[in-house]
Structures are given as structure tokens and as C-alpha cells.
Structure 1
Amino acid sequence: MPEFRRAAVSEIDPVTLYRILWLRVSVFVVEQKAAYPEVDGRDIETGAELLWCEEGGAIVATLRILRDDTAIRIGRVATAESARGRGYAAELMRAAIERCRDLEPGLHIHLDAQTHLEHWYERFGFVRSGSPYEEDDIPHIPMTLAVRPQ
């Protein structure tokens, strides 16, 4: 049975944090062949939170929430190849959107989507909010969700 969790980095057990970062590196650096500093320092910023899904002791999906003065950003959405298609990332996205509503009602949520995932993010209400660009040879588009207080 999958378990969904959320915490600031400072509150996460070191082994769990290692597994979250391992998943992100496995997906973004190894699988997608994007050599970049995956551990970029943003996870430890004030207000940053990680969300993840555990199944059978393994981290199978994760994402992070970052805050600044004018927006909230969701990023680093990753799912283990063996767990794709089970809805874990979608459950994390729904939880992240709800968390963003709780944290900063009325602020927009931003993300930088890999272009092939644009329609997946549209399922949650995100819309294209800028011009396409490439990052690490992977096409991306900026997307935004206007968050309304409930």
C-alpha cells in the first residue's frame, strides 16, 4: 500500500532523503542524460518542502515545493520507471496543489514542464505561460496555475 508523505528536508530521516535524491538523480541525470547539479541547494531554502510516495520501503515518486515572494513553484516531479502509470505522481501533484493553497492562498503556482508532459500538467489546471525553451537539451515550457482560495 503506497504511503504519501510531506516534510522539510530538515525533518526527513537521512536514509529517506538519500532515497528521494537517488530517485531524482536516477530519473533526471541518468535516465534523461542531463548532466547538471541535481542537488542544487533549493531543497534547503526556507519554506521548501518535499513530497514523496513510499511503497514497500522504496521511494517511487517525489516532487518539491519552493516558495518566493510572488509565487510558489512545484518542481523535480519524478517517478521511478517501475512505478509509472500507477497514479502516484498525480496524487502527489494534487497534494502539492492543496498544500500551495494552504501556504499562500491566491498566489500562482509555477512549474517548468518537459514539453511532452504539457497535457499531463493541464489535467491539474496548469496552462502554458511562456515560450518554449531547452534545458539540458530537453524541450520545456513554463506553466502556471492560478490558485484561488477555497
Structure 2
Amino acid sequence: MEITTKTFDELTTKELYQILQLRSEVFVVEQNCVYQDVDGKDEKALHVLGAKNGKVVAYTRMFRPGDYFKNPSIGRVVVSKDQRKHGYGKVIMQASVDEMDKRFPNSTVELSAQTYLLKFYNELGFVTEGEEYLEDGIPHVRMVRKL
């Protein structure tokens, strides 16, 4: 899997389409969650794409401090269902954490994690802060990692 990081303006139309399609496939269809994925925040985000044979199969978006949360943050972590067996979730997240460390050294990175993925994020150095809450009807928890 080839990983690249781009601003919104650097994304090709094809890449943007593939990103939105992947997010919709997983977050709306697979998780059966009706919510507004196209939330107006993509233009501020840095986009981390994991592509295989020219197709986006893994993705995260990252925000500078204050653009989404107080701290730099990672969100919309997603891997295509048929590609999860390859460990691409950890690969794309590690690439995102490494990119955050380059851009915002000695910072605290924040994310809103679906509760069922706590172990996944713990293995990447994130720890839970606060109580569980519902986001779009799905249990989440705030997690942070010191860089």
C-alpha cells in the first residue's frame, strides 16, 4: 500500500471521489449510520491516503490545532472491508501519527474513537480520557497520545 498526504486542493477529483465513496461504504452503509459525512471540514484537513493498485483502500484526515479540536487531531479512520485482513488500519494510523509528529512535534494528538476500537488505538499509544458518549448514535470515547 502506498501512502501519501495531501491538502484538499492537492487531491485529484478521482481521489476525492474514492475517499468519499470509501467513507460512505463503511460509515454510512456498513455501520448503518445515517449522518452527514460531507461536513464542510475536508477543506481544512490534511488527507492521508493509502492506495493499492490506484484505488484508495485506507484513509484518515488530520487537523491542525484548533481546526477541529483544541489539539491536532486524526479522524475518519477507515479501511475498505475487503482490505482489513492486511493490517492497513495500523499502517495508515502509524503514518498519520508520524505525519503529526513531523508537523506538530511535542504535541498531544486527539481523536474521537468508536468504543469497540479502544484496543486498536491503545496499541498505537492512545489512552482514553473522559467518559463514553454517543456520536451519531455510536458509542465513542475521547483518546489522546503525546508525541
Please state which band the TM-score falls in when normalised by the shorter chain.
over 0.9
What is the distance in 2 between the residues matched to 1:107 and 1:92? Answer: 19
Q: State the AA in 1 paired with 2:46.
A: E
Q: State the AA in 1 paired with 2:141.
A: I
Aligned match of 1:10 = 9
1:62 aligns with 2:59: yes
What is the distance in 2 between the residues matched to 1:136 and 1:95? Answer: 27
Q: State the AA in 2 paired with 1:138.
A: I
SS at 2:74 equivalent: strand
SS at 1:90 equivalent: helix
TM-score (norm 2): 0.93
CA RMSD of aligned residues (A): 1.1
Number of residue equivalences? 144
TM-score (norm 1): 0.91
Q: Identify which range, 62-71 or 102-111, moves more after superposition.
A: 62-71
What is the distance in 1 between the residues matched to 2:79 and 2:104? Answer: 26
Task: Structure 1: state its 5+ residue gaps.
Answer: none
SS at 2:131 equivalent: coil
Using the TM superposition, give the Cα deviation of residue 34 of structure 1 relative to its aligned residue in structure 2, in angstroms.
Answer: 1.2
SS at 1:125 equivalent: coil
Using the TM superposition, give the Cα deviation of residue 85 of structure 1 relative to its aligned residue in structure 2, in angstroms.
Answer: 2.1
Aligned match of 1:43 = 42
Residue pair 1:42, 1:66 contacting (<8 A) in 2 also: no
- Identity rate, percent: 36
Aligned match of 2:79 = 79
Where in structure 1 do 4 or more consecutive aligned residues deviate above 6 Å? none
Residue pair 1:94, 1:124 contacting (<8 A) in 2 also: yes
What is the distance in 1 between the residues matched to 2:85 and 2:141? Answer: 22
Deviations 1:42-61 (A, max 9, x none): 1111xx21111111222111
Residue pair 1:65, 1:73 contacting (<8 A) in 2 also: yes
Aligned match of 1:109 = 109
